């Protein structure tokens, strides 16, 4: 067995089954070894940002890492933005990056660069393999690092001679650690706050607390104390819809978030960090917790927030089955022109049960979350790190992880243009992804930000940097060119008809919505 096979067999033994790859010459031994390792599925991405975003989406749904395979520093660098998003989502990801042969590094050949320095800002763990004999142990360590609770990005840099040379065989998976438990003292303190402040308290959820068990406990607490359930503005994954507790997102703009939270005396954090503004603005604070509202941590993202929430519910004597659950209710099918309200209503009206929604719809997406609160149960994923171009790749990875479920990529046009190659991967892999592109022909959020900064009449140059209208981008045509059947709609009625049709057929499809 060579180093490449040793790496793949070790990853497989640790439960990794998928490799989102865009390889080059330094990874040839790994490419060849894939055929010798039954059970490891390679998925080709035509841009590294597709591979890393897909690994994020896969991890969010499978709760375990995939491999990404990228080519030296430049290949990896193309994937960094979506690894940034994965890091913010606390998704477990194992990056494997091929490097020059150890003895060829000194020659400083054209593709040679300092890969570790590129990897560090997005990786909690980085290791350079030094010899073929260590490749199995290094791989096992990389997987263990990625699975460190709640999930981290781990990067293994592997010189090509270590891949092609004979190695020692595969290593066993290292034992998985469990999340650190929350001290009883923290649970008691949070219980006191919730009981004292009651409906003047927000229980603020993140990470595993937004999964079914965490939500059930949070719902018991809300039913018992009257507290309001909220979650991060951009949740990595939340289970929602009919039969599940209703959780609101904290508004994006700091003025709105501060105004909302100013009505409360306390915020209790469960699996989430204290919320901060996405950007600094003149005369606005970084923290979104207003003066006069106290903040208290029940569980950090690294701690076992689910067990802590259940213990807290018991501590305050919340009845076991008192979970206030959301009634099934959908908006009626909308009619008329396409805008954020009718698009949100159409999607909420037709959302299939048990689907996964990846929301990178930016400004057009805003009304959807509230409109779909009573839709059939579904999973919602958001852009966690603000690095746009995550939606289509993440939807692709989610579909690889959950082939039995329909994935809906709710996608803003400007953001979608960063990584539209993901559509080709969806077509090639036959993934059940329905993409709804919000073609508003602009970077609307940037126009909003210009106005917020007082530039209500932007000049020609400023306008040109926020408009996508010239030339007009034709998404349906691009999708067809990448192997994904697509249609274009410009009314809410047509959107409903086409969406119903798209959801009924297997494989990927795309609806371009002219907003």
Ligand X SMILES: Cc1ncc(C[n+]2csc(CCOP(=O)(O)OP(=O)(O)O)c2C)c(N)n1
User: Interface with ligand X by CB under 6 A: which residues?
Assistant: 81, 362-364, 386-389, 412-415, 440, 442-446
CB closer to ligand X out of 75 and 241: 75
- First CA to last CA distance, the chain: 56
Least Cβ distance, residue 445 to ligand X (angstroms):
3
Least Cβ distance, residue 397 to ligand X (angstroms):
18
CB closer to ligand X out of 111 and 446: 446
CA 45, 47, 48, 54 dihedral sign is: negative
Residue 350 CA to chain centroid, in angstroms?
A: 23
CB closer to ligand X out of 370 and 445: 445
CA trace torsion 84, 89, 90, 96 (10° rounding) = -40
Least Cβ distance, residue 390 to ligand X (angstroms):
9
Q: Strand pairing partners for 70?
A: 97
Q: Strand pairing partners for 360?
A: 411
Least Cβ distance, residue 363 to ligand X (angstroms):
3
Burial 234-263 (b: 16+ CB within 10 A, else e): bbbbbbbbbebbbbebbbebbeebbebbee
Which candidate, 483, 500, 508, places its Cα nearest to that of 398?
Answer: 508
What are the CA-CA distances from residue 436 to residues 65, 166, 388, 398, 448 (Å)?
Answer: 27, 48, 16, 16, 22
CB closer to ligand X out of 239 and 360: 360
CB closer to ligand X out of 236 and 363: 363
Least Cβ distance, residue 427 to ligand X (angstroms):
22
Which candidate, 413, 372, 370, 373, places its Cα nearest to that of 391?
Answer: 413
Distance CA 405, CA 12 (A): 24
Least Cβ distance, residue 108 to ligand X (angstroms):
30
Least Cβ distance, residue 274 to ligand X (angstroms):
22
Q: Are 338 and 495 in contact (CB under 8 A)?
A: yes
Residue 137 CA to chain centroid, in angstroms?
A: 29
Least Cβ distance, residue 392 to ligand X (angstroms):
11
CA 346, 475, 428, 52 dihedral sign is: negative
Least Cβ distance, residue 223 to ligand X (angstroms):
36
Which candidate, 341, 5, 332, 354, places its Cα nearest to that of 164?
Answer: 5
Distance CA 264, CA 225 (A): 14
CB closer to ligand X out of 315 and 413: 413
What SS3 state is found at 357? strand
CB under 8 Å to 451, separation ≥6 — which residues? none
CB closer to ligand X out of 300 and 340: 340
Least Cβ distance, residue 362 to ligand X (angstroms):
3
Distance CA 254, CA 284 (A): 8
CA trace torsion 257, 261, 267, 269 (10° rounding) = -10
What SS3 state is found at 490? coil
Query: In this chain, which residue has its C-beta nearest to ligand X?
Result: 414
Least Cβ distance, residue 81 to ligand X (angstroms):
5
CB closer to ligand X out of 111 and 417: 417
CB closer to ligand X out of 64 and 442: 442
Which candidate, 80, 17, 16, 84, places its Cα nearest to that of 47?
Answer: 80
CB closer to ligand X out of 445 and 494: 445
Distance CA 158, CA 102 (A): 9
CB closer to ligand X out of 70 and 78: 78
CB closer to ligand X out of 277 and 446: 446
Least Cβ distance, residue 465 to ligand X (angstroms):
9
CB under 8 Å to 166, separation ≥6 — which residues? 1, 2, 3, 132
Least Cβ distance, residue 317 to ligand X (angstroms):
45
CB closer to ligand X out of 326 and 364: 364
Burial 101-113 (b: 16+ CB within 10 A, else e): bbeeeeeeeeeeb
């Amino acid at each position: 067995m060579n180093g490449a096979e040793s790496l793949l067999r070790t990853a497989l033994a640790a439960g990794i089954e998928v490799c989102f790859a865009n390889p080059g010459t330094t990874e040839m031994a790994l490419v060849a070894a894939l055929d010798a390792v039954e059970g490891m599925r390679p998925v080709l991405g035509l841009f590294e940002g597709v591979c890393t975003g897909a690994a994020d989406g896969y991890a969010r749904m499978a709760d375990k890492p995939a491999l990404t395979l990228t080519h030296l520093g430049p290949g990896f660098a193309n994937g960094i933005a979506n690894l940034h998003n994965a890091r913010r989502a606390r998704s477990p990801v194992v990056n494997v990056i091929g490097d020059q042969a150890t003895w060829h590094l000194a020659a400083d050949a054209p593709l040679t660069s300092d890969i570790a320095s590129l990897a560090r800002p997005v990786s909690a763990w980085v290791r350079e393999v030094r010899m073929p004999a260590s490749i199995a142990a290094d791989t096992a360590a990389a997987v263990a690092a990625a699975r460190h609770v709640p999930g981290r990005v781990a990067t293994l840099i592997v010189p090509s001679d270590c891949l092609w040379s004979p190695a020692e065989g595969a290593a066993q998976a290292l034992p998985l650690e469990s999340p650190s438990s929350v001290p009883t003292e923290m649970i008691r303190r949070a219980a006191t706050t919730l009981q004292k402040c009651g409906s003047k308290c927000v229980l603020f959820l993140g990470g595993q607390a937004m999964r079914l068990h965490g939500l059930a406990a949070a719902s018991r607490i809300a039913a018992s104390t009257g507290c309001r359930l909220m979650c991060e503005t951009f949740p990595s994954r939340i289970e929602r819809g009919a039969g599940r507790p209703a959780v609101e997102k904290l508004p994006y703009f700091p003025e709105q978030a501060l105004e909302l939270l100013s009505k409360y005396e306390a915020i209790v954090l469960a699996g989430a960090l204290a919320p901060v503004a996405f950007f600094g603005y003149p005369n606005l604070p970084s923290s979104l917790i207003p003066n006069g509202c106290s903040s208290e941590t029940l569980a950090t993202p690294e701690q076992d927030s689910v067990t802590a929430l259940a213990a807290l519910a018991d501590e305050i004597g919340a009845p076991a089955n008192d979970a206030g659950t959301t009634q099934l209710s959908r908006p009626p099918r909308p009619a008329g022109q396409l805008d954020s309200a009718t698009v949100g209503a159409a999607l909420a009206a037709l959302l299939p049960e048990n689907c996964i929604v990846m929301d990178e719809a930016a400004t057009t997406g805003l009304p959807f979350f509230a409109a779909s609160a009573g839709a059939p149960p579904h999973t919602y994923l958001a852009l966690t790190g603000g690095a746009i171009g995550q939606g289509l790749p993440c939807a692709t990875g989610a579909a690889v992880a959950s082939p039995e479920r329909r994935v809906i990529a709710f996608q803003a046009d400007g953001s979608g243009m960063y990584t539209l190659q993901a559509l080709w991967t969806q077509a090639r892999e036959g993934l059940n992804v329905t993409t709804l592109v919000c073609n508003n022909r602009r970077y609307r959020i940037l126009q909003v930000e210009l106005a917020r900064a007082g530039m209500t009449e932007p000049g020609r140059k400023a306008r040109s940097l926020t408009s996508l209208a010239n030339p007009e981008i034709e998404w349906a045509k691009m999708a067809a060119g990448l192997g994904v059947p697509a249609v274009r709609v410009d009314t809410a009625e047509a959107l409903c008809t086409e969406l119903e049709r798209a959801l009924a057929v297997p494989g990927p499809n795309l609806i371009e919505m002219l907003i």
